[in-house]
């Protein structure tokens, strides 16, 4: 396809992004987690193009983005638990998976034929503005080639998808830096993907513990093994790099790039994909990453790192 338009995060850019979406075209938009590749979730053609641009397997469903919770009941069977989590965390880095209503109007490609759909209300002011200007549900996976490192700047998006999408809006660096936490609410509340909100905070808002995903039924990146993968080989739990390796550190230590010199997991999440992109240069022999504590946002960070280091097909 043709040239990718570069949109600024201003009134002109917002109007143009909404116009492109209503024409069934694809726009990469900033959200507080990562950049999303947005298309009209009701339009088969737009959704098919999202899968094509990313090289994403069509059995892996997409998240539908809305400007607020009020429209959610149009698509799903809304529940008290969904309302409690929406009150606590929307807009923000939380995605809820709920049973689809019979006449939902979404493209069946969005849900990959499942009888549930993932919904998210992003907090980023530009994502909010474009969703409101467009006025419809927006399907948006992370704006990266499938299986590769997620984008946290417009430059990352262009490095992976330039010429394959219609536009990218520049909203600077994402503040959360890892994708949303996904909670399944079609049965017992279940953690489907750790992400930008710590599971303990979700359990506190629900008043019940989250079940862990059993890995059997649903297709999520977790089941794809290798994901979020840089070109270079990745080694984990490393404190001493080998020659030619880039060492990504955490806390007070000598390293090439530090996720958070002060040992702050929120800062580390915001830097994670940024540092992986920066380290991933052709001339290096690999990327080594220091241990990161398995608490709070560390659960999401370690989940992404394990997939980045997983054996590749």
Contact (CB, 8 A) for 192 and 242? no
Q: Is 22 exposed, middle or buried (0-12, 13-18, 19+ CB in 10 A)?
A: middle
Binding to ligand TXA in span 63-102, by CB under 6 A: 63, 93, 95, 97
To the nearest whole angstrom, how small is the minimum distance from the Cβ of residue 84 to ligand TXA? 20
Residues of 245-270 as b/e, b for ≥16 C-beta within 10 angstroms?
bbbbbbbeeebbbbbbeeebbebbbb
Please work out the total of residues on this chain that contact Mg ion, with binding judged by CB under 5 A.
Answer: 1
Binding of ligand TXA by 179 (CB under 6 A): yes
- Of 61 and 67, nearer to Mg ion (C-beta) is 61
**Residue 192: contacted member of Mg ion, ligand TXA, none (CB under 5 to 8 Å, by partner type):** ligand TXA
Which helix or strand (DSSP H or E) is residue 120 part of?
strand 116-120
Q: Which stretch binds ligand TXA (CB under 6 A): 212-220, 234-242, 255-263, 290-298?
A: 212-220
Q: Which stretch binds Mg ion (CB under 5 A): 18-26, 64-72, 136-144, 238-246?
A: 136-144
Binding of ligand TXA by 152 (CB under 6 A): no
How far is it, in rounded angstroms, from Cα 193 to Cα 91? Answer: 18
**Residue 180: contacted member of Mg ion, ligand TXA, none (CB under 5 to 8 Å, by partner type):** ligand TXA
**Residue 111: contacted member of ligand TXA, Mg ion, none (CB under 5 to 8 Å, by partner type):** ligand TXA
Binding of ligand TXA by 269 (CB under 6 A): no
How far is it, in rounded angstroms, from Cα 54 to Cα 8? Answer: 23
Q: Which residues bind Mg ion (CB under 5 A)?
A: 142
């Amino acid at each position: 396809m043709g040239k990718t338009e570069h949109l600024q995060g201003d009134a002109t850019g917002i109007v143009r992004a909404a116009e492109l979406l209503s024409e069934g075209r694809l726009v990469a938009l900033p959200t507080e987690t990562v950049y999303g590749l947005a298309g009209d979730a009701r339009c088969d053609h737009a959704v098919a193009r999202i899968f094509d641009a990313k090289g994403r397997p069509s059995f892996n469903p997409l998240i539908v983005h809305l400007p607020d919770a009020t429209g959610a009941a149009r698509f799903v069977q809304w529940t008290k638990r969904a309302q409690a989590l929406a009150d606590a965390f929307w807009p923000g880095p939380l995605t809820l998976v709920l049973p689809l209503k019979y006449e939902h109007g979404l493209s069946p490609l969005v849900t990959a034929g499942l009888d549930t759909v993932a919904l998210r209300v992003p907090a980023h002011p530009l994502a909010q503005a474009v969703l409101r200007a467009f006025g419809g549900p927006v399907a948006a996976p992370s704006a990266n080639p499938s299986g590769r490192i997620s984008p946290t700047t417009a430059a990352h998006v262009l490095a992976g998808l330039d010429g394959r999408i219609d536009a990218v809006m520049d909203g600077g660096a994402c503040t959360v830096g890892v994708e949303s936490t996904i909670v399944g609410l079609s049965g017992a509340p279940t953690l489907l993907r750790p992400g930008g909100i710590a599971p303990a905070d979700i359990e506190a808002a629900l008043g019940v513990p989250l079940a862990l995903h059993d890995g059997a039924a649903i297709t999520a990146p977790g089941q794809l093994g290798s994901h979020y993968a840089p070109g270079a080989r990745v080694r984990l739990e490393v404190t001493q790099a080998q020659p030619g390796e880039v060492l990504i550190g955490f806390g007070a230590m000598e390293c090439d790039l530090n996720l958070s010199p002060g040992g702050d997991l929120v800062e580390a999440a915001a830097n994670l994909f940024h540092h992986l992109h920066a380290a991933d240069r052709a001339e290096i022999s690999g990327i080594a990453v220091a241990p990161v504590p398995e608490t709070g946002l560390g659960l999401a960070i370690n989940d992404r790192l394990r997939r980045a280091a997983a054996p590749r097909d």
